[in-house]
Chain A
């Protein structure tokens, strides 16, 4: 309410300035001209393909004989009734991976922002360093790390950690590879930098004197974190969770390289529908359902996280 009023006020104050230049039409058009390249790019490579995809999702036919538009919306219900387990699995795996990313990234970003001193730059480079290798290679490396005879697997077996994860349904037998755990591990690992960087940016921007002020006002270190640092870092947390959750939901590399067909995610299904089975309408319907679900979830999340606490 008050924020809205302030925006209105700011807009009122901002208005007179452009009016001064009303005489020359060029100024008025400049912003739109500058927008043009981006708009063309978005139109040609996003909106047009989306319309094609949307059209395709209600077509019928086969790859060999061609598809024709029959407005068969049952494509959606058919696809969903067959592949809902993969849908649910995608959101569950992506959700767990996002949560793990947050748990790892927040302390990491906090230390880099506040405690690293002269090592700040070096640590940030280390966070980004994995990007210097391809996504595929990095994921393949986890096959080796989590292999049955790897020291990680053996150590976790010896520590009986695998008994716990087996109980939770995350692993099978004494194995780590080709289990839900390995898929989630891969997702967590691959998307971690996308969580660290926005949180770091939010924390780094924060005025440390606010923490001193909180402590001066009777807040223990934990309370000042809860009441000051955490709310002020929320924009970074929201950005990080979105940057992690959205691509992780649609990811299929991790499930393919670190899982088995039994733990396929929706990305794998769409991949095989498009490129192996060549059932384009089903693939298109799945893609649209995935997109819509993510949009709804993200919309709810941003509304909830973004109302009061965000600056």
Chain B
């Protein structure tokens, strides 16, 4: 087993989870999860805390044993293999650097355990790659958070695992450093070409770095796909809210003919492309992203024909810099969020003004009304969705 891990080599290997379930007593942490993560990809498991993403990672690492199901790396079934016999390495959330060893020995740890003959050169190489060479003889507690993070990465990467697991590795860093490390990580992944599986609750981080994102909720994958696809075509309200923000209106669908359906919202008729209707039932939540809305004063008349329109009254405007975030009260009480780019062309709109919200029907989606419209809204993360562009 341990030898076969070496032969998998630098190119990485497909990781397959087949109907994997993990229960702790009555609590089902991971519920019948099936995933295929192709070799060489940068895959993100995204979800709120407690969604089962870390448990999934720990099962792949061998630190937890699945209650049911199978885990395959390449062709090898590693479901019950010991952690030290898997071609998998982990960058831990807490880094878990060995405090009694210096940086060189921390990084050399995996190579030494496998009796590698060429330790010095390989460690020097990876220290150079991660710009840690001057720190080789320091102890971990003498390093800053960002440096420790790089050591943890180097310590895992040097073993050329078939799959590299990253357990919220940037969570402890401040925002600016996190942005920088995201780019570095992505760069390193391109360079070494290993399969990266990255667990995070930070949707921006997932979207910036990953080729494919699986959004997890309550032990299940809600939706999986490329970042753009997930953002533009959310299939559930959870995904629509967890990745960015969404405005929802309760509506009834009719005229499912041709390419467009009509959604009736409190007497207003909105067009929805049929390709973006993810509901068999006619009772739906119609959604649209805040940055897709155009806000214009009621007097304005340059709204393109065929666009959906709703009128409302601005209740709040907050200037963020690159954009302004408006809250608009609709006649039936619903509040809508609008992000208006600070292009400098339009004058700012003050609270109390009646406005028209309009948008291209192509940006409308309709989701099953049996779900809660509040699913996936993290009260703590009402962040600005600046920089997320489709």
A-side residues, CB < 8 A to B, are 1-3, 6, 207, 209-210, 212-220, 223-224, 227-228, 231-232, 309-311
Contacts and interface: CB of A to CB of B under 8 A. Distances in A.
A103 B106 CA distance: 29
Contacts of B102: 2
Nearest to A211: B96
B90 A216 contact: yes
A228 B98 contact: yes
A1 B98 CA distance: 19
Contacts of B97: 213
B98 A210 contact: yes
Interface stretch (B107-115, B195-203, B230-238, B379-387): B107-115
Contacts of B341: none
Contacts of A218: 2, 84-85, 110, 113-114, 159
A212 B97 CA distance: 11
Given A209-B92, A223-B113, A309-B100, A217 B159 contact: yes
B83 interface: yes
Contacts of A219: 84, 109, 113
Most chain B beta carbons < 10 A, residue from A207, A216, A224: A216
Given A209-B96, A216-B90, 9 more contacts: A3-B139, A209-B92, A210-B99, A212-B83, A213-B92, A215-B83, A217-B84, A217-B89, A218-B113
Given A2-B137, A2-B138, A6-B142, A215 B96 contact: no
Nearest to B94: A209
- What DSSP secondary structure best describes chain A's contact surface? helix
Contacts of A215: 62-63, 82-84
A309 B100 CA distance: 6
A213 B153 CA distance: 12
Contacts of A224: 84
Contact of A220 (B84, B92, B138): B84
Nearest to A220: B84
10 contacts: A6-B142, A210-B98, A212-B63, A213-B98, A217-B89, A217-B159, A218-B110, A219-B84, A219-B113, A309-B100
Interface in B101-123: 102, 109-110, 113-114
A207 B98 CA distance: 10
A221 to B, nearest CB: 8
B156 to A, nearest CB: 8
A217 B82 CA distance: 11
B289 interface: no
Contacts of B88: 216
Contact of A216 (B2, B63, B138): B63
B196 to A, nearest CB: 15
Interface in B57-94: 61-63, 82-85, 88-90, 92, 94
Interface of B: 2, 61-63, 82-85, 88-90, 92, 94, 96-100, 102, 109-110, 113-114, 137-139, 142, 155-156, 159
Contacts of B114: 218
Nearest to A209: B96
Contacts, number: 77
B122 to A, nearest CB: 14
Contact of B90 (A6, A207, A213): A213
A216 B84 contact: yes
A223 B92 CA distance: 20
Contacts of A310: 100
Contacts of B85: 218
Contacts of A2: 102, 137-139, 142
Nearest to A235: B100
Complex A-B, nearest 5 residue pairs according to Cβ-Cβ distance, in ascending order? A213-B96, A217-B110, A218-B113, A215-B83, A209-B96
Given A3-B139, A216-B63, A207 B96 contact: yes
A311 B100 contact: yes
Contacts of B98: 210, 213-214, 228
Most chain A beta carbons < 10 A, residue from B63, B96, B97: B96
Contacts of A311: 99-100
Most chain B beta carbons < 10 A, residue from A3, A212, A217: A217
A215 B2 CA distance: 13
Contacts of A220: 82, 84
B83 A207 contact: no
B133 to A, nearest CB: 14
B251 to A, nearest CB: 49
Most chain A beta carbons < 10 A, residue from B83, B109, B156, B159: B83
A1 to B, nearest CB: 8
A210 B114 CA distance: 18
B361 to A, nearest CB: 50
A6 to B, nearest CB: 5
A219 B109 CA distance: 9
A33 B374 CA distance: 62
B139 A214 contact: no
A234 to B, nearest CB: 8
Contacts of B159: 217-218
B149 to A, nearest CB: 14
B1 to A, nearest CB: 11
A228 B100 CA distance: 8
A212 B94 CA distance: 12
Contacts of B142: 2, 6
A227 B100 CA distance: 10
Contacts of A209: 92, 94, 96
Contacts of B62: 215-216
Nearest to B138: A2
A231 B62 CA distance: 24
Contacts of B138: 2, 6
A309 B102 CA distance: 11
Nearest to B165: A216
B57 to A, nearest CB: 11
A205 to B, nearest CB: 11
Nearest to B152: A213
B85 to A, nearest CB: 8
Nearest to B63: A212
A232 B109 contact: no
B89 A216 contact: yes
A224 B102 CA distance: 17
